[in-house]
Amino acid sequence: MNRPFLGFGLGLRKEHYEAVLNDHPPVDWFEILSENYMVAGGKPLHYLDRIRQDYPMVMHGVSLSIGSADPLNMEYLQDLRKLADRVQPEWISDHLCWTGVGGHNFHDLLPMPYTREIVDHVAERISRVQDVLGRRILMENLSSYVSFENSEMSEWEFVTEVLRKADCLLLLDVNNVYVSSINHGFDPMQYIRGVPSDRVWQIHLAGHTTNASGKIMIDTHDMPIRDEVMALYGNTCDLLGPVSTMIERDDNIPPLPELLEELQQVRITAHQSRGADS
């Protein structure tokens, strides 16, 4: 399948609404957090509609809980489709994880065992979601801090099987790959080489921290992209070619000009590889 290339984007955050509207910054596209705009009205939708007039957008969610044993939340899916009808996004994404069970939401992105049974469970649910939304969706790989004794395959093999069985696409979070590679002791490029390149339609980049012991990497989205992650991104561009790429910043959010400087470094890294048209 032909992968669209949107260029280089940012996550749209309320701290930057006015600057985006007033300054028209050189951002190719924005990613919105779907749940922030699944409301009846108010300022979020006011700003969303105005900014959408000038920039392409994609939608990114955190509440699909695709790996849960609970039934799919059809009310949530209908609201998500209504938002998509309003925004007309290039695509919609969520996470390859579960966030709750038994009606309880843990407000975290939780990993799953990498088994064939879970592949079948998740793929069937993704297929149903795609039927409701009327489009393919992108699923994002997690950063993880624990592993399961009953896993039957590597994470990249698991991701690949889900993508193929559900006929969905991948949002490749390069920072998450790096964080997990340190926590679990694998080669991050083995992971990136191990997923089907034609299904990678978007890349996330973000900052991370270490815990007090200095041994565990934690995906925090609260600081600039680290050099080692930027280097991994360059190698990823060499392998995959042009992929729409954005910076996630969810806490300790700096002024927009600071993020624009970082986004320019992302562009430079991509152009220095084979990852973007010159």
The rounded distance, in Å, linking the Cα atoms of 82 and 195 is 31
pLDDT of 34 reads 98
Tens of pLDDT, residue by residue, the chain (278 residues): 689 999 999 999 999 999 999 999 999 999 999 999 999 889 999 999 999 999 999 999 999 999 999 999 999 999 999 999 999 999 999 999 998 777 767 567 888 999 999 999 999 999 999 999 999 999 999 988 888 989 999 999 999 999 999 999 999 999 999 999 999 999 999 999 999 999 999 999 998 777 656 677 677 777 899 999 999 999 999 999 999 999 999 888 999 999 999 999 999 999 998 644 44
Predicted local confidence at residue 249, as pLDDT: 94
What pLDDT, on the 0 to 100 scale, is given for residue 218? 77
The pTM score is: 0.94
CATH number of this structure's domain 8-272: 3.20.20.150
Q: Say what the pLDDT of residue 275 is.
A: 43
Report the pLDDT value the prediction gives residue 106, as an integer from 0 to 100: 59
For residues 230 and 269, the answer to whether their CB atoms sit within 8 Å is yes
Rounded Cα–Cα distance for residues 193 and 259 (Å): 29
* Angle value at C-alpha 68, between 63 and 69, nearest 5 degrees: 140
| 192, 154 contact by CB (below 8 A) | no
| DSSP assignment of 44-82 | HHHHHHHHHTTS-EEEE-S---TT-SSPP-HHHHHHHHH
Amino acid identity at 36? N
CA distance 135 to 91: 8
pLDDT confidence of residue 207: 85
